[in-house]
Amino acid sequence: MTFFQVLKAYSMVSRQCKPRHIEGSRQEIRQRREELGKWVDRTLERTREAIEEDLGEMSWNLIAQIEAGDIVFDALDLRLAKEAAKITQAHPPSQFDLDAGRLSMRSAPGEPVAPAPGNGSTTHIVVDLRGKEVSTNATETNKPYSLFTRLTGLPLVEVQLPGSISTFMLARTLTYQDEPWRFDMFGGSRATRGHMSRPAQLLSGTSGAPSLLPAMRYTDTAPGSSLMQLIAKLAPQREDWSRMQRSLLEMVPTDHVIEGTLRLGFFEDVSGPTHPFKPTAPDGHALALCPNDGCGFLKLEVALRIPAFREYFSAWQAVQAGEASQKQRDLIAKDKGPTRLAPQALQHFPRDEAALQEAHEAMQRRLQALPSELSQLTLYELATSGGYQGQRVRAVPAADDKVHLPSERSQAFDAAGGALLIGKPPYDKENLLPVPEERVATVAQSDATAEFLSQSFGIQYSYTGFDDGSGSDAEMLHSKGMLIVVPSKNWPANFADMDLACSKEDLKTLSRWTTGRDRSAVPQNMLSTGSLRLKDIVEPGRMGALPIPELRKRNMDTDGDDAFVYAGYPKLAALISREMADREVRRGQPRSFKPPKTATPAIDPDNGHYQAGRLSEIMSLQRGGQIMGAASTLAARFMAQPDHLREAMARNMMFGTYDGIERDLRNDLRVALDGKARDPQVLTELRNQAYNAIGRAHLPEAREAAELLHAQLLRLEPGASSRAEVPPLPDALGEAFPRLAQAYLAAPDTEARIHAIIDNYPVCRLSHAQFPAGQPGLIPGEPELSMRNLFTIAIKVGTDALKSDTGTALFAKIVESC
């Protein structure tokens, strides 16, 4: 135990040997850290046998972390690869036949059925970080269904997380049922829900559900185990860790799932008018609907095989016919009525007298319609959102350039006319935009597509299955999104042999995608056996079709996202139109603010083993949530400032973001200046880099700093006179960076002046070297618009951290510095 405690303490100390914690030069600190790390390794080698004999499995976590060294993220996988035989002998891995599970789910094509009682029935257990049970449904009779249990026969164990997590919290196992379990493999939205609170919860003093991460027996993640074979098929890329929540681990009521063989259709995302798949109207003409990223179509006869949908469908028909029982009336969702306008939606637009008067009138109408006694939540919403009222619609893609609204969502527009405002939260950029009156179609205008939406159901779904045409070792796939339920009379005749039609973008994982997502190679037709799970039912009259370009303007998906439509506010619509026209001219060619999607192989190229751990991705997800909150707050405060102050803030924020010294140039200069002998070729290259930086500077002060550094480097040239006049520090640069001015004026020689610059002038975080195609969000000559873009990108980096490597470490520093 003494050896264990000493190693634990000094292992932590060695990792904290950093310049921000101790004094000394960077080279000295690095040397001290390396020496301490070597001592820890030697001590472990000498004491390991005694530690393991005394503490047994309790010592595994520390030993694994020490042996992993700087790659602590992979500590559990490295330990398992090294001692798999020992671990699996102590705890034999679970065994199951994946192909037998596939065969047990097969059906006639297009005729899936509800699973037999008990199939997939999931024992769900929640434990804390010490392995103590927090909750279990073991004694419940009506357990939920999960595909995980259906295929493996194992219980689903999740770990309840504290307020925040750390690397060392996850780079270890916990003990449950007298054996080690790991919880660094999968995640999803359940991993972050503990950090989110709604206004109603804040007012009532309650909190949301705690964050959870799934846990697996450590031995079950040994190379070659049954579980790892399943995971390698369903999550071939590291980024797929977050998709496992929907693809494998999600739990749904037993009446929300069907299993069987389906004829799937996957389509390229093309422009709506040219799309080959469109439902048809009763007269045979194509409706203005098509599959697109997030949304597809499902035959009604297949949907009716889902017990929960069949019950809901029957209840809705009975209500329409006036023959519903009380139970059926209670089942049908009640319309929540008009929705408010999110306060963030208007933060992007300037004050306007006409729009303010219109807002005042809207508030008066709203107050007159309310009772005298108001709840705290209503008062909060009125204070933050004003009197604007609109309708929530579940967005689906339109195949033309019109917005198609069902009668249940078009009353305000039918009465008022004018431009229709369509918003999409989060409002991290200008996502409240108008659509002209002539491009809005409703049932009142005899629009066939709007009429179809007034009568059609939709479902939000998850599908996980096997590609039946991929051979004996069948590949697995996962797709999710929205499906519009289409009766047989409206299903296009050319695709009668399809049960489900969707976009190729809705296919999220495929076993063969080990190095990238080659969706173009996915065949249009696929026979697949699997599990179709119902997440949500959208009743007729709730879906609205938006043109694909309008969806893209708002960075909007149609996999379950709601849009918000507001009619009867012409002055606000006119203000937004004018402002956006001006910004479009200033911004030039529009660019997507979404970070590029990454695809990292999960197979270790050295040993061919699947790497199960996703600790780095989980930590990135936590940083993403922090970035999203900080960037949203920063953006709101930035937008709230007067124009002149906002411009000044933007100029200051440019430094360290888009302007500054390149990190490599700074580091190489430090090495060159600290060295005993200076290589002339190295100095020449550094001078060239400093010269090139002059032309890349955006603000005048940034150019002055680059010129000053280059001038000092010229003084290091062989033969340069040390008596030459020292370039003075420009006044504007000194005013912007007083510490730089103080150090520069006090410097006795050229080397000291160079140190004064590189030690006191900020590093450019969005560097030209890292982004040679252009710094993200930058609009040359427009600091204020550039900062707007930067905040939008930062929020996207945070939200997309769940499913891709978005660069959260970099943007966390950028947001903090702003």
pLDDT in tens, 489-527: 999 999 999 999 999 999 999 999 998 999 999 999 999
Residue 419 near residue 454, CB atoms below 8 Å: no
Asked if 209 and 103 sit in the same domain, the reply is yes
Average pLDDT over residues 26-32: 72
In-domain check, residue 280: yes
Considering 252, 287, 319, which residue would you say is the last residue of a domain? 252
Residue 611 near residue 603, CB atoms below 8 Å: yes
pLDDT tier at 79, thresholds 50, 70, 90: confident
Give dist(CA 225, CA 94) in Å, integer.
8
Which of 178-187, 297-306, 790-799, 809-818 ranks highest by mean pLDDT? Answer: 297-306
Cβ neighbors of 493 (< 8 A, separation 6 or more) are 280
Average pLDDT over residues 336-354: 91
User: Based on the structure, what is the number of domains in the chain?
Assistant: 5
Give dist(CA 304, CA 416) in Å, integer.
39
Asked if 457 and 531 sit in the same domain, the reply is yes
CA 234 centroid distance within chain = 19
Cβ neighbors of 659 (< 8 A, separation 6 or more) are 697, 698, 699, 701, 702, 762, 764
Asked if 220 and 113 sit in the same domain, the reply is yes
Asked if 180 and 106 sit in the same domain, the reply is yes
Give dist(CA 747, CA 620) in Å, integer.
41
| pLDDT of 592 | 74
Q: Model's pTM, two decimal places? A: 0.88
In-domain check, residue 583: no
Which ranges in 598-749 belong to alpha helices (H)?
Answer: 615-639, 643-654, 663-674, 680-696, 700-714, 731-736, 738-746
Considering 23, 50, 70, which residue would you say is the last residue of a domain? 70
- pLDDT per residue as tens digits for the range 263-290: 999 999 999 999 999 999 999 999 999 9
In-domain check, residue 798: yes
Asked if 235 and 284 sit in the same domain, the reply is no
How many residues are present in the chain?
818
In-domain check, residue 599: no
pLDDT tier at 66, thresholds 50, 70, 90: low
Q: Which residue has the higher pLDDT, 721 or 181?
A: 181
Strand 391-398 to strand 543-547: parallel, antiparallel, or no bridges (unpaired)?
parallel
Residue 755 clears pLDDT 80, i.e. is over it: yes
In-domain check, residue 349: no
Asked if 643 and 783 sit in the same domain, the reply is yes
Considering 501, 534, 562, which residue would you say is the last residue of a domain? 562
Q: Give the mean pLDDT of the chain.
A: 90
Asked if 177 and 201 sit in the same domain, the reply is yes
In-domain check, residue 535: yes
Give dist(CA 694, CA 768) in Å, integer.
12
| pLDDT of 72 | 62
**Domain membership of residue 514 as a residue range:** 257-335+453-562
Average pLDDT over residues 767-775: 90
Asked if 747 and 802 sit in the same domain, the reply is no
| pLDDT of 641 | 93
Cβ neighbors of 1 (< 8 A, separation 6 or more) are 54, 55
Beta bridge partners of 295: 292, 482
Give dist(CA 752, CA 289) in Å, integer.
68
In-domain check, residue 446: no
Asked if 109 and 227 sit in the same domain, the reply is yes
Asked if 21 and 106 sit in the same domain, the reply is no
Average pLDDT over residues 450-474: 97
Asked if 626 and 679 sit in the same domain, the reply is no
Asked if 105 and 212 sit in the same domain, the reply is yes
Q: Poorest-confidence range of 159-173, 236-250, 768-782, 786-800?
A: 159-173
Average pLDDT over residues 641-649: 94
Give dist(CA 181, CA 512) in Å, integer.
29
CA 638 centroid distance within chain = 24
In-domain check, residue 435: no
Strand 391-398 to strand 562-566: parallel, antiparallel, or no bridges (unpaired)?
antiparallel
Residue 50 clears pLDDT 80, i.e. is over it: no
Tell me how far CA of residue 639 lies from CA of 9, 332, 645, 649, in angstroms: 47, 42, 10, 11
- pLDDT per residue as tens digits for the range 701-714: 999 999 999 999 99
